[in-house]
C-alpha cells in the first residue's frame, strides 16, 4: 500500500507532495490520499495546543488509513497517510523530513511558504522514504 506525504504551509497551501513508492501517473488512490490529508488539517489545531512535541502521532483515521502529523515551529504542517503498520518508521521519517525542511528554509533562494520545486529536496525526501518504508 502506497504512502503519501505532504507539506502544507501555515496558510493551508500545499507546498510539497511525495508518494512512496514514487507514484505512477495512473495512481488514482494518490488523489484520495491527498484529499484525506487535507480533510484532517482542521483536526490539527486542538492537538497542537495540547501537545509539547512537534510530532503529533496519529491524528486521524479514514477507513484503514491513518494520518500522522508534525507541526513545525512556524506552523508548517508535515502530514503522512499510511496503513498504520509502521508507526516507528513514520515518526522517524517525519522527524528527518522536518530536518530537511528546516535546512531548506535556510536556502536563501527558497521562499518559505511557496511550493517546493527543488529537485534535490525531492530526491532527499524520496531517499528518506526508501530508508523507512522500503
Q: What share of the chain is helix, strand, coil (3-state, %, to 5)?
A: 40, 25, 35
Considering only the stretches 23-31, 37-45, 79-87, 110-118, report the one whose residues sit in contact with other proteins under the rule CB under 8 A.
110-118
- In whole angstroms, the minimum distance from the beta carbon of 121 to other proteins comes to 8
User: Can residue 13 be called a binding residue for other proteins (CB under 8 A)?
Assistant: no
Distance CA 98, CA 77 (A): 9
Distance CA 70, CA 79 (A): 6
Query: From the list 75, 83, 115, 127, which residue makes contact with other proteins (rule: CB under 8 A)?
Result: 75
Measured CA distances, 7 to 14, 85, 121 (Å): 6, 22, 12
Considering only the stretches 1-9, 16-24, 37-45, 52-60, report the one whose residues sit in contact with other proteins under the rule CB under 8 A.
52-60
User: Can residue 93 be called a binding residue for other proteins (CB under 8 A)?
Assistant: no
Query: From the list 42, 107, 127, 131, which residue makes contact with other proteins (rule: CB under 8 A)?
Result: 107
Amino acid at each position: 500500500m502506497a504512502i503519501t506525504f505532504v507539506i502544507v504551509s501555515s496558510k493551508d497551501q500545499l507546498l510539497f507532495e511525495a508518494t512512496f513508492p514514487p507514484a505512477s501517473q495512473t495512481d488514482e488512490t494518490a488523489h484520495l490520499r491527498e484529499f484525506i490529508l487535507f480533510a484532517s488539517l482542521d483536526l490539527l489545531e486542538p492537538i497542537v495546543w495540547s501537545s509539547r512535541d512537534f510530532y503529533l502521532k496519529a491524528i486521524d483515521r479514514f477507513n484503514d488509513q491513518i494520518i500522522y502529523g508534525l507541526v513545525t515551529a512556524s506552523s508548517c504542517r508535515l502530514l503522512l497517510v499510511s496503513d498504520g503498520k509502521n508507526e516507528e518508521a513514520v515518526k522517524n521519517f517525519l522527524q528527518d523530513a522536518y530536518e530537511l525542511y528546516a535546512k531548506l528554509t535556510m536556502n536563501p533562494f527558497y521562499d518559505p511558504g511557496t511550493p517546493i520545486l527543488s529537485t534535490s529536496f525531492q530526491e532527499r525526501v524520496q531517499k528518506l522514504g526508501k530508508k523507512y518504508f522500503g
